Amino acid sequence: MKYYLGLDVGGTNLAAGIVDENCNLLHKESIPAGAGRSVEEITSDMAKVSKSVVKHLGLPMSKISFWGIGMPSYVNPQTGLLVHANCFGWKNLDIYSYLQKHSSLPIYIENDANCAALGEVLAGAGKGYHDVLMLTLGTGLGGGIILNKKIYAGADMMGAELGHTKLCYHGSSCTCGQLGCAEAYCSATALIRQAKEALQGNESSVMYELCGKNPEQLNAKMVVDAYKMGDQVAQNVFLQYVDYLSCAMSSFIVIFRPEIIILGGGVSNVGDTLLLPLKKKVMENTYAADVIGVPEIRLAECGNDAGIIGAAMLEKYGMDRKKNGVS
């Protein structure tokens, strides 16, 4: 049996795990990311938590063939530098040189949304499928593309940024500095913003009670709870959000015609409350849906484990970065 080491790096936690060749996550551990500290400290902790899971299982390092890492950034294959990890304030960082001080394993870094998509295809809602899109409805709108069971991240491996396609020409401001990105309408953050806007002058809405009369405390769950309670303001907001999301999805469908689209992230936790109206809207808003149908739409199943599993399995299912001179 072969074993793979996966590390999912986020702004909040560093989560490591050991995955066997059948994509089973055997053990995982998590420590705070400690954003704000030096590169040396954080990369040292990345190695520490990774080695700790190996030790916990009593495996000798020689049994581990690979260290895959998912990060909220890309490695530029031309330069080998981590392009921009916002949460750590890292820009054009030679992260490989820091990590190699701690391990002689082959290291492979991939965008975390791509890792999550791969994890879901190998061990979750996408099991058995070859062509899958994953959208993560969280702080941002993460996108992952799996083509023929491998991560697809664009010709230079810095693409698949589904959240930064344009949904509303010159529309709302996105955190990326552009206007009208799908992320600015379809993330959990966007849903909350839309609800806050709707609350202005609508203090009779149940949402206003749920957030303790302080709209700054409003979260996505409160919006959906109020919607389920029949609150009219929340209903308008949530169904409008669903319509935005369906239109973003329609663009990805007409390009990729994936077998399945998997939804993860905070908003997806509401399950059928999202899925049922969304499926209807995707049918309505997608070109040629009446003639050739639309893909299945399902909820993610692996939760936070998807990122670890996907990272661990990058050796087999990642894009081939070696041709670009990155170890």
Instruction: Return residues touching its own copies (CB under 8 A).
Output: 76, 83-84, 130-131, 145, 147, 154-162, 164-171, 174, 176-178, 180-181, 185, 244, 247-248, 250-251, 253-259, 285-288, 291-292
CB of 232 to its own copies, least distance (A): 21
d(CA 288, CA 52): 51
- Please say which residue, 166 or 316, places its beta carbon nearer to its own copies: 166
Residue 190 corresponds to which tokens in the numbers above? 């966007």
- Please say which residue, 53 or 71, places its beta carbon nearer to its own copies: 71
Residue 146 corresponds to which tokens in the numbers above? 């799996």
d(CA 91, CA 85): 6
- Please say which residue, 4 or 256, places its beta carbon nearer to its own copies: 256
CB of 290 to its own copies, least distance (A): 9
- Please say which residue, 205 or 250, places its beta carbon nearer to its own copies: 250
d(CA 16, CA 323): 27
CB of 41 to its own copies, least distance (A): 25
- Residue 190 CA, chain-centre distance (Å), reads 16
108 backbone dihedrals φ, ψ, rounded to 5°: -140, 120
CB of 316 to its own copies, least distance (A): 19
d(CA 134, CA 324): 26
d(CA 70, CA 16): 10
Residue 174 corresponds to which tokens in the numbers above? 């996105």
d(CA 59, CA 10): 26
Strands 260-264 and 132-137: parallel
CB of 303 to its own copies, least distance (A): 26
- Please say which residue, 124 or 258, places its beta carbon nearer to its own copies: 258
- Please say which residue, 13 or 240, places its beta carbon nearer to its own copies: 240
Residue 111 corresponds to which tokens in the numbers above? 């965008």
CB of 23 to its own copies, least distance (A): 21
d(CA 164, CA 184): 9
Longest dimension (CA), the chain: 64
CB of 96 to its own copies, least distance (A): 18
167 backbone dihedrals φ, ψ, rounded to 5°: -105, -40
- Please say which residue, 26 or 288, places its beta carbon nearer to its own copies: 288
